[in-house]
Structure 1
Amino acid sequence: MTLPVHEKNRRILPRWRDFDETLDQRELAGEGTQVRPPLDEEYLNEKKVVWEHEKTITAAAELIGSALVYDKMAAGVEAARFVLQAQSESPLRCMAEDLLALHEGEGKSREVLLNVERSFFAEKVKNLRMATRRGPRDPIAWLDLAHAYSSLGLNDKARRPLDAATALAPSSRFIARGAARFFVHVGEAERAAKWLGSRANLELDPWILAAEIATTSLTGHTSTHARFAMKSIGRKSWSESEVTELASALGTLELEAGNTKAAKKLFRLSLMRPSDNAVAQAEWAERRGHVLLLEESAFATPRAFEASAKRNLSLGKHGRALDDAWKWLRDEPFSREPAAFGSYVASILLEDYVEAERMLEVSLVANPRDKLLLNNIAFTLASRGQIKKAEYFLGRAAGPTGDARISAVLVATAGLVAFRRGSLGEGRELYRVAIDLFERQGEGKFALMARLFLAREERLAGVLGANDALVELRARLKGSRDPDLLLLLHRLEQPL
């Protein structure tokens, strides 16, 4: 079976996008530092003029990249055809092929769109390395290079450009938040919290302050700056758009302290002019049953892919949830969360194992050792009968996980693999171990899900007494309102 990322305590950690995308999201508004102009259609037109004048590979690459980013495929058609004539196998050639496929209405699948993204990052690394050679004191180029490396799973290579960026502009909002998100991504949350807490402008910048409060909370502590932040919001020191994530971070602290009334007030403030991250945090708080917050208009916030995916899942709109998960993955290609969520929807709820596998293959580029993703792809492969490949990925996930839920689900997936290769006794025992592990953790939903999958495998294998297990599961799920479990039970009740 597969799992999404555990969401018991979501934190409003900073999003990490490249500079142009961050600027487009208004996160840098009011920072007071000199920044490069935003990428827009005027920029695209400039690239087109340069291409028409020079007709070089470099000009073609810049135009193709811009056309893909802005979904203006027609602008890059001539340049793409030029590249196909001039280039053999290369990331740029892949970008050109994908642009033409999208322009001509072919291959508009999620797979093609993510091939664009992978080739885009490979080309981006090349271009940003050249940019840092030309401008070695440009912190934005250095951090964008770190982001591109991390999106390709090259976290060790990302550290050097990250160090350069933080040394050149330690107080920049863009640098501070991006660096902190990288540290969290590689499992260094305490370093992230200390890094943000040591910024000289911490209490002058609500975006850095929000990140520090959220990141410190991730380490199991409460920020010493939370009280100052609460007073600043009370004094209306910043505009509504500037405090969207700060109010959300403080609202989360109040919620966890049991102060629902104060939390609700802060979350409502966070939604006055929200970031996509604030919408996702409010959706989490609402779904946890704590507060009613969101109006439908909030989901129209630019890049609110995570919130939309989870809202659609809660509404039973599984196809839409999966579509949003793909958009979320493209927005945060280095993060494991979109693929963990999307593969759960695709494999468990839609039984679309091919789509789940595609999503996981993409995310494993950036997260090759993530045990949850390795488990999920092993499940999808075993469900399709690809036992050897499933065993390979389970082997990659061997060893301590540091997460009891993931340890339990790995055992359940090993049970599935055993069943599918004909080892029924071993498979049954592994599922029972997984069920026991889930129950000891208080994860009743996933213990029941493991029971449902055990019953499915016994039924498919023609085990005597399989129908008795179905009767028992009906009794266990009587009165349940969990739509995922009820869907699995319904499937189990259908004739083979």
Structure 2
Amino acid sequence: MTPESLATQRRLVPRWRSLALTLRARELGLRGTPKPAPHLSPEMVQRLERWRMFPSIVSASELVEIAIVECREGEALNAARRLIAPASTAAPLVRAQAAELLRRNGEEVPDKLVHARPTDATAWRDLTRLHPHDALAWVELALHQTVAGRDKRAERSMRVALQLSPDNRHVLRSASRLFLHMGDPERAHDIVRRSAATRGDPWLLAAEIALAELADRDPTFFKQGVRFVDDGGMFPHQITELAGAIGTADLLGGGVKRSRRMFRTSMVDPTGSSLAQGEWATRHLGVDLVPHERLDTVSEAHEAQAFHLYRRARFDDVPCACEAWSRVDPFSLRPYEFGASTAAFTEDFPKAEELSARGLQRNSDSPILLNVRAFVMASQNRLAEASKLLRQIDAKKASPAFRHLTGANNGMVAFRSGDLAKGRQLYLEAAEGFRKAHMPMPSAHARVFLAREAHLAGDPDAPKLLLEAQKAVERLGFTEVSFTLEKVETLMGIAPLSPRKPNPVPPRPEPLPTKPRVISWSTPGWTRPGS
């Protein structure tokens, strides 16, 4: 059987991709500020004075940086022009940031004034040697090293970036995501929590709240974040992830009323990540939170589109959305896990095999991908390959949920190897294990697959096993398990117990634990329930 694709708890942790994509997603600044502060911050005044007295590349880049963060871009136009001047010696990423600031403020900036950006780790390494004090270049190098699976090198590069710019929003959000990827949520949280910039920055407040949950801590700045959102003094895009992070925390803590309000605020002008959070929360709040048009207009909406397609039972279209998602979230396993699981669920075995292989290249120990790939192999009677994959799963490290999933797939291998008694035993143990873990959907799914494999093996008890599976699925209402059951009923020539009608948005909220146990796993920002 395959894992439940949406049975995970998502957090609004920062996305980490290139600076160019981050700028394009408007995560480092806005067009002005809706309620200008009557006075400039002391740090802003200090940098303005330094620029006016000593107009160098360093003072210009410092002013552009704080102007973007504090939404005072008009104060830094001259500094930005200095950075992109033909004679400027500014690093390419500094020039790119200045160019984006000018373009947001209505100025035309020819592409020839912005250097082409390197495209691989070697080129970024050369650039950091040329500009060793460019923190953003060190972040880009760390990203390429992470994608290449060189986590230790990426950590060293990120430490340099943090030393150079310890309060830079892009550096902090990127560093926190790297340490989550490395399985250290406490360190990821500490980096953001301890920064002097966090208290006054909604993007860092959002990260602090989400990271605290993953580190199994109480957020330090939760009340501050609520005040930021309720004050109404910022553009909706600037607080979209903060509102979504608060809404998620409230949802998991049982505060449904404020959770819905926060998600509505988050959806006014969302990022791709906050849009995906809205799609995830829809399943648990029982109301459709995401305006349909946002799925077509928001930058980097591929993850949300994948969730939406799955929730609308358009399973065949999900893998394509996941492939687009993987291109904007380059080191995350989740696009491959979600896409491969869904492809296997629809019995598109070539696509499931392709996506699982690509994911396993990034992390060869993923229990989701190993189970999906084993299911695909067993479904094609490639039993030796399936058994080998299942043996690679470390039962001591896997959560109980994945031990049950692995047991079910071993049951499939046993049935197809001719050992019907062992196959039935393994499936029933998996179903009972899921039930005891309060996971009724995979429990029912295991019973459906047990009936199918029993029928294919010629077991005379197959109709009785199917009846038990039908009763288990009927108690759930209409879910993705219903689709598997319908296929098995058709295969066995047995009618359903009662008519079924799809309901893409659950009529009742799905229960969530008030304080889930957090598990560090391969994709930052996700935890598994029932573990």
State the partner residue of 1:267: 263
Verify the 8 A CA contact 1:4 1:337 in the aligned structure 2: no
Sequence identity of aligned pairs in percent? 31
Q: Cα deviations across residues 353-391 of structure 1 (Å, max 9, x unaligned)?
A: 110111111112222222222222221122222222222
**In the alignment, is residue 19 of structure 1 matched against residue 19 of structure 2?**
yes
State the partner residue of 1:257: 253
Q: 1:159 deviation in Å? A: 1.5
**In the alignment, is residue 412 of structure 1 matched against residue 417 of structure 2?**
no
In 2, Cα distance between equivalents of 1:479 and 1:392: 35
Asked which structure has the greater CA Rg, the reply is: 2
Verify the 8 A CA contact 1:4 1:340 in the aligned structure 2: no
Mean CA deviation greater in 359-368 or 248-257:
248-257
State the partner residue of 1:439: 435
State the partner residue of 2:73: none
**In the alignment, is residue 344 of structure 1 matched against residue 341 of structure 2?**
yes
**In the alignment, is residue 453 of structure 1 matched against residue 449 of structure 2?**
yes
Q: 1:228 deviation in Å? A: 1.4
Aligned residues, how many? 425
**In the alignment, is residue 37 of structure 1 matched against residue 114 of structure 2?**
no
Normalised to the residue count of structure 2, the TM-score between the two structures is: 0.74
**RMSD of equivalent CA atoms:** 2.7
**In the alignment, is residue 244 of structure 1 matched against residue 232 of structure 2?**
no
Verify the 8 A CA contact 1:356 1:377 in the aligned structure 2: yes
Q: 1:168 deviation in Å? A: 1.6
State the partner residue of 1:143: 139
State the partner residue of 1:231: 227
Q: 1:418 deviation in Å? A: 2.3
**In the alignment, is residue 403 of structure 1 matched against residue 399 of structure 2?**
yes
Q: 1:157 deviation in Å? A: 2.8
What's the secondary structure of 1:213's corresponding residue? helix
In 2, Cα distance between equivalents of 1:445 and 1:482: 11
In 1, Cα distance between equivalents of 2:414 and 2:125: 47
**In the alignment, is residue 470 of structure 1 matched against residue 459 of structure 2?**
no
**In the alignment, is residue 306 of structure 1 matched against residue 341 of structure 2?**
no
Mean CA deviation greater in 307-316 or 246-255:
246-255
Letter of the 1:322 partner, please give it. Answer: P
In 2, Cα distance between equivalents of 1:326 and 1:18: 18
Verify the 8 A CA contact 1:356 1:380 in the aligned structure 2: yes
Verify the 8 A CA contact 1:480 1:486 in the aligned structure 2: no
Letter of the 2:222 partner, please give it. Answer: A
Q: In the alignment, which of 298, 318, 322 is matched to residue 319 of structure 2?
A: 322
**In the alignment, is residue 167 of structure 1 matched against residue 163 of structure 2?**
yes
Q: 1:43 deviation in Å? A: 10
Q: Cα deviations across residues 218-274 of structure 1 (Å, max 9, x unaligned)?
A: 223321211112223233343221111111111222333333332222222212211
State the partner residue of 2:362: 366
What's the secondary structure of 1:26's corresponding residue? coil
Verify the 8 A CA contact 1:180 1:193 in the aligned structure 2: yes
Letter of the 1:37 partner, please give it. Answer: A
Verify the 8 A CA contact 1:139 1:168 in the aligned structure 2: yes
Q: Which runs of 5+ in 1 are unaligned?
A: 51-61, 66-122
In 1, Cα distance between equivalents of 2:383 and 2:109: 50
Q: 1:176 deviation in Å? A: 0.5
Q: Cα deviations across residues 110-156 of structure 1 (Å, max 9, x unaligned)?
A: xxxxxxxxxxxxx6122222222222222222212221222233323
Q: 1:3 deviation in Å? A: 1.1
In 1, Cα distance between equivalents of 2:10 and 2:354: 26
Q: 1:215 deviation in Å? A: 0.6
In 1, Cα distance between equivalents of 2:394 and 2:135: 39
Q: Aligned in 2, Cα 1:368/1:156: closer, same or farther, shift over 3 Å?
A: farther
Normalised to the residue count of structure 1, the TM-score between the two structures is: 0.79
Q: Aligned in 2, Cα 1:6/1:316: closer, same or farther, shift over 3 Å?
A: closer
What's the secondary structure of 1:477's corresponding residue? helix
What's the secondary structure of 2:9's corresponding residue? coil
Greater per-residue helix proportion: 1
Q: Cα deviations across residues 143-198 of structure 1 (Å, max 9, x unaligned)?
A: 12221222233323321112222222111111101111111122111111111101
Q: Aligned in 2, Cα 1:295/1:419: closer, same or farther, shift over 3 Å?
A: same
Structure number with greater CO (CA < 8 Å, separation at least 6) is 2
Q: Aligned in 2, Cα 1:312/1:297: closer, same or farther, shift over 3 Å?
A: same
In 1, Cα distance between equivalents of 2:473 and 2:130: 64
In 1, Cα distance between equivalents of 2:5 and 2:186: 20
Q: 1:44 deviation in Å? A: 11
Q: In the alignment, which of 174, 178, 181 is matched to residue 178 of structure 1?
A: 174
State the partner residue of 2:77: none
In 2, Cα distance between equivalents of 1:4 and 1:331: 23
Letter of the 2:338 partner, please give it. Answer: F
What's the secondary structure of 1:493's corresponding residue? helix
Q: 1:419 deviation in Å? A: 2.5
Letter of the 2:197 partner, please give it. Answer: N
Question: Residues 49-68 of structure 1 correspond to what in structure 2 (within 5 A)?
Answer: none
Verify the 8 A CA contact 1:3 1:340 in the aligned structure 2: no
Q: In the alignment, which of 165, 173, 184 is matched to residue 188 of structure 1?
A: 184
Q: 1:291 deviation in Å? A: 4.3
Q: In the alignment, which of 483, 486, 491 is matched to residue 479 of structure 2?
A: 483
